[in-house]
Amino acid sequence: MNNKSATLWSFSVLTALISIVFFLIMRGPDVNTTLLATVLTVLSVLGIAFAIVSKKLWFIVTGIILNGAVLVFVGLVLFAIGMSEP
């Protein structure tokens, strides 16, 4: 295993974990949802980029699945925000 690939994959997994921790810290009734969605989106896109650059199939698949799940969650949050506003 290439050390550079493993490091990039670790960054990919780390961005997914940071996204989850950030969501758990920022949740609540008075949360700034725009800030939440923006930070989670940026972290998720960075994680997917790190996974793709790692160039190992297993690393790419796990990185895209983890960070893709965060992106789907952000999409659902944005959809809920849009439905709740008049």
Task: Classify residue 19 as exposed, middle or buried by CB count within 10 Å of its CB (0-12, 13-18, 19+).
Answer: buried
pLDDT at position 29: 82
pLDDT at position 1: 60
- State the residue for tokens 């997914």: 16
Q: In the chain, where are the structural domains located?
A: 3-84
pLDDT at position 55: 87
Q: Which of 15, 5, 10 has its CA nearest to residue 71?
A: 15
Per cent of the chain over pLDDT 90 is 63
Bin 59: left if φ > 0, else alpha if -120 < ψ < 50, else beta: alpha
Using a cut of 0.85, tell me whether the model's pTM lies above it.
yes
pLDDT at position 81: 81
Q: What is the pLDDT of residues 4-42, one digit of tens each?
A: 888 999 999 999 999 999 999 998 888 888 899 999 999
